[in-house]
């Protein structure tokens, strides 16, 4: 099933849940972005779909100048509060397709688990326009690896109850190939570099439930569907021992602009 891009507005409705339930990315991923893009301390970074600032925090701690852009005012509000002690950060509310920046403004544009919500043609065109000569576009995401005992039951629950569940999209390799093809098709960037990383996180039962309910395809359910989903989910979660250790495939697609 194709991704329903209209669901990108759902995260603002569960902003607190989104912030507490979503974990960050493998630290090596960010280190490789810095290394490959060769950004300097005075470089300017744009974070497209910055959410509550999970990715921005790494760059803030390392002294880089970053502007976060997100359509969710609730998400931006959390990011501003969480990262208020970093004067090198600022945040704007708006869509990447419509927000105006001067050409040749940024040394690096990053987008964590957000680029797939954008019109790929417009997103690539705007990225190339706003990047300086020698600038880079870095897109990254992460995907839970299925274990043989528990995760398939969760995916089956999604398929059974969530009409917008993009079952054919949740794989790091297909995601990387899909994004790379869109970048190549734009002819605005050199051939992307693809890198993969592993990370692991320990979830309590509540944390894992919150994670599931922060997804767009669950948070967008109507009241009746959501109640039924939660009832079945509760039984499923109660049937196993906790904590639950989840392994993630992190993927980075990074490309240099042709200028």
Tell me the domains of the chain and their CATH numbers: 5-146+165-202+248-256 (3.40.50.150)
β-strand partners of 48: 69
pTM for the model stands at: 0.91
* CA–CA dist 68, 86 (Å, integer): 13
- The distance from CA 65 to its chain's CA centroid, rounded to whole angstroms, is 20
Cβ atoms of 136 and 257 within 8 Å: the answer is: yes
Contact residues for 133 (Cβ-Cβ < 8 A; gap 6+): 104, 257, 259
Where would I find the beta strands (DSSP E) of 88-211? 89-93, 106-112, 131-144, 193-203
* CA–CA dist 118, 94 (Å, integer): 12
pLDDT in tens, 152-194: 888 899 999 999 887 665 678 999 999 999 999 999 999 999 9
Indicate if the pLDDT at residue 50 is higher than 60: yes
- Work out the pLDDT band at 7, boundaries 50, 70, 90: very low
Per DSSP, helices labelled H in 111-204 are 120-130, 151-161, 172-186
- Work out the pLDDT band at 65, boundaries 50, 70, 90: very high
Mean of the pLDDT values across residues 50-77? Answer: 94
Lowest average pLDDT, out of 77-86, 132-141, 147-156, 229-238, goes to 147-156
* CA–CA dist 172, 133 (Å, integer): 29
pLDDT in tens, 88-133: 999 999 999 999 999 999 999 999 999 988 999 999 999 999 999 9
* CA–CA dist 31, 35 (Å, integer): 6
Closest alpha carbon to 61 in 86, 42, 79: 86
Closest alpha carbon to 78 in 121, 137, 22: 22
- Work out the pLDDT band at 147, boundaries 50, 70, 90: confident
Mean of the pLDDT values across residues 47-75? Answer: 94
């Amino acid at each position: 099933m194709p991704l329903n891009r209209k669901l990108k507005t759902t995260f603002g409705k569960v902003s607190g849940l989104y912030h507490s339930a979503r974990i960050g990315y493998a630290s090596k991923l960010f280190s490789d972005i810095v290394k490959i893009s060769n950004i300097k301390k005075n470089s300017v970074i744009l974070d497209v779909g910055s959410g509550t600032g999970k990715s921005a925090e790494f760059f803030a701690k390392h002294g880089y100048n970053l502007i976060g852009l997100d359509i969710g005012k609730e998400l931006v509000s959390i990011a501003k509060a969480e990262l208020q002690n970093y004067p090198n950060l600022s945040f704007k509310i708006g869509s990447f397709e419509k927000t105006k920046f001067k050409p040749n403004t940024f040394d690096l544009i990053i987008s964590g688990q957000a680029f797939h919500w954008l019109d790929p043609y417009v997103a690539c065109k705007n990225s190339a326009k706003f990047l300086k000569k020698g600038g880079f576009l870095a897109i990254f995401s992460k995907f839970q690896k299925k274990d043989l005992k528990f995760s398939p039951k969760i995916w089956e629950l999604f398929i059974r109850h969530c009409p917008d569940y993009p079952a054919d999209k949740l794989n790091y390799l297909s995601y990387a190939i899909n994004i790379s093809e869109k970048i190549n098709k734009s002819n605005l960037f050199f051939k992307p570099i693809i890198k993969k990383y592993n990370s692991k996180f320990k979830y309590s039962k509540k944390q894992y439930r919150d994670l599931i309910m922060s997804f767009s395809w669950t948070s967008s359910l109507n009241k009746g569907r959501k109640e039924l989903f939660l009832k079945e989910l509760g039984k499923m979660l109660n049937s196993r021992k906790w904590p639950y250790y989840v392994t993630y495939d992190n993927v980075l697609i990074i490309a240099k602009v042709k200028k």
